[in-house]
Amino acid sequence: MIQIHPEAQRTEELRQLLQQASYAYYVLDAPIMEDAVYDQLYRELQELETQHPELVTPDSPTQRVGERPATHFTSVRHNIPLYSLENAFNIDELQAWDQRWRRQLPTTDAVKYVSELKIDGSALALTYQDGVLVRGATRGDGVTGEEITQNVRTIRSIPLRLNFDGIEPIERIEVRGEAFLPLEVFKQINEERQKAGEQLFANPRNAAAGTLRQLDSRIVARRRLDFFAYTLHIPGMDDASIANTQWEALELLQKMGFRVNPNHQLCESLAEVAEYYKYWDTERLNLPYMTDGVVVKLNAFKLQEQLGFTQKFPRWAVALKYPAEEAPTRVENIAVNVGRTGALTPLAEMRPVQLAGTTVSRATLHNSDRIAQLDIRIGDTVIVRKAGEIIPEVVRVIKELRPADTVPFVMPSHCPVCGQEVVRESGEAVTRCVNASCAAILKGSIEHWVSRDALDIKGVGEKLVHQLVDKGLVHSVADLYDLTEAQLLSLERMGEKSAQKLVDAIAQSKNQPWHRVLYGLGIRHVGSVNAQLITEKYPAVEKLETAKQSDIEGIYGIGAEIAQSVYQWFHIDANQALIERLRNRGLQLAAEETATVNESNQKFAGKTFVVTGTLPTLKRDEAKALIHKAGGKVTDSVSQKTDYLVVGEDAGSKLAKAQSLGITQLTEAQLLQMLADE
């Protein structure tokens, strides 16, 4: 009888448990264990493998991130070529594709189609031997690609070992799919690159491709790529013996442990395919990842096999693309907007163009430096795209099409709203209006004051703010508290009930705490967390008004720039007058005395926390409030003084920095447990 070493038995047990947990979390989106339990099991496995290196296997969860960066990538030949797809750009071209394959293979049988979203990422070819991932490769030219197995292992939605429960084990399987970056992760990566002075990625597709080719797999792991599988091949074996259709293949991939895009659909006719395409033309804008079209495949593998391939494309599939994500248009005017901080932002007003499912007629030009970089002029033909599928931006100017009579655009020397001379401080790219009475600045400051993280006044939106300012009813945020129902009834679309609700909401905002009032004042560089830190040091406005700049700067988490901005704001006469008016109207300009809780409840006293990512049940502000209530401090940035990092889903650079500094990481559950412990 063969005796199994107890450590070997336990490591295999741990691997299976962790594999099941990862599949439930990353593929099914239905966690089966707490993060803290997963972390504990992972550490146990890690320790066992450290003590017994001979027990380490390629499919172990501990092997997702390599120890050392690769020095280069090896070119490999695909066992089965990765064909590109023929493109169609409208329903007529889809019908033409359908007619072509029918001429090639006349049939009277009912034909079904599988419609799948075409994910805008980077194609991967994965090879599994006896159920274990042994190779991951890029598409390359379709015949050869680069072997990037070490990087592929970091993608949590790619199983390192296939699940053959209820399936006859298969010796060798080739799985194809798309690696991609969720839009939120893409945004975070570009923000980090911008801060580091690095060139920004043009779009999530380029970012995904660039990430996969990183030589250091630890960088790949931090960027949190995701993956959708869409097809499988079994070399030397008839696929039909495992699955007869594309629909069955997708179901099989899910059973094996892969994520399959949940939005695929089995269509009984080409008309249903067209409906699917039309539906996702606009609905795709609500997805957390980019898609640039729909892939349409004949469902039956028998038909696919009979139709075969051209030199470039499979005859049984087509990519039905949406309108280009980049589009040319003409600049008809360059306007300049003024924000609440007085910043002048140039805006290209363009001939309307369809882009990513919406009509685009305006795009930000950021500042005068960007205008100079583009050399953009009124009359130019430009290429426009939607950054992250959201914000229209000008990519480049087609100078070959520039009219002869165009002239360079120059930023105005005076504010386009109030006429005050504008300034551009040394070292800044932004030009500003410094007239505190400027109507544009006033509108922006009121919109900020009523926002959710500030005074949170329900019912006061942008249109109402513009009416209040344009009609002269409000000249500062303090005037909101003098508004009467009669005055509000003079506004467009304002009834008695709405006016009463608005007056009540404004009155209710007087109960908001001091730190929200400070944030609502809109002092440059002061965010909601900074406002909390400042009001902890200065629990009453009188103390902050008389504070030295050096003392404000001494608050942990408050830098010189913030301290200077706060100090200067409170030494402007008009701002002092505003504070006095707010005091007279009953706003909270001091922390409540009851905020000083019993020492026995100060279990986080002297501890500094940072919260990052999306927590399972708590909003970030709620988590921060709980920490503050227990005597802890919350800051925005991770440093050696940070004691704990509370980590949620899609945590970014803060997690990486905390790991490098050895800072203790907490899940939401662990944080709540610490608060509950006596």
| Active centre residues (catalytic) | 118
85 among annotated binding-site residues:
yes
User: Between β-strands 132-138 and 122-129, what pairing exists: parallel, antiparallel or unpaired?
Assistant: antiparallel
Instruction: Give the separation between CA 381 and CA 580, rounded to whole angstroms.
Output: 53
Residues 6+ apart with CB under 8 A from 338: 344, 345, 415, 416, 417, 433, 438, 440, 441, 444
Q: Is 35 annotated as a binding residue?
A: yes
- 36 assigned to a ligand binding site: yes
Is 599 a known ligand-binding residue?
no
37 appears as a binding residue in the annotation: yes
The answer to whether 540 is a known ligand-binding residue is no
Which alpha helices (H) appear in 156-216, and where do they start and end? 183-195, 204-212
Annotated binding residue 297:
yes
Angle at which helix 462-470 crosses helix 439-449, to 10 degrees, equals 140
Question: What are the φ and ψ backbone dihedral angles of 3, each rounded to 5 degrees?
Answer: -100, 125
Distances (CA, A) of 370 to 151, 215, 261, 427: 36, 33, 38, 15
Of the candidates 53, 17, 11, the one whose C-alpha atom is nearest the C-alpha of residue 37 is 17
Task: Count Cβ atoms within 10 A of the Cβ of residue 37 and give its class: 0-12 exposed, 13-18 middle, 19 or more buried.
Answer: middle
Tell whether residue 147 is among the known ligand binding residues: no
Q: Specify the pairing of strand 144-147 against strand 74-77.
A: antiparallel
SS3 300: strand
User: Known binder of ligand: residue 321?
Assistant: yes
Neighbours of 599 (CB within 10 A): 9
650 marked as binding residue: no
Is 370 annotated for ligand binding?
A: no
DSSP 3-state assignment of 360?
A: strand
Question: Would you call 519 exposed, middle or buried from its count of C-beta atoms within 10 A (0-12, 13-18, 19+)?
Answer: buried
**What are the structure tokens assigned to 135, written together?**
């190779």
Say if residue 634 is exposed, middle or buried (CB neighbours under 10 Å; 0-12, 13-18, 19+): buried
Annotated binding-site residues for NAD(+) read 35-39, 84-85, 116, 139, 178, 297, 321
Annotated binding-site residues read 35-39, 84-85, 116, 139, 178, 297, 321, 415, 418, 438
Annotated binding-site residues for Zn(2+) read 415, 418, 438
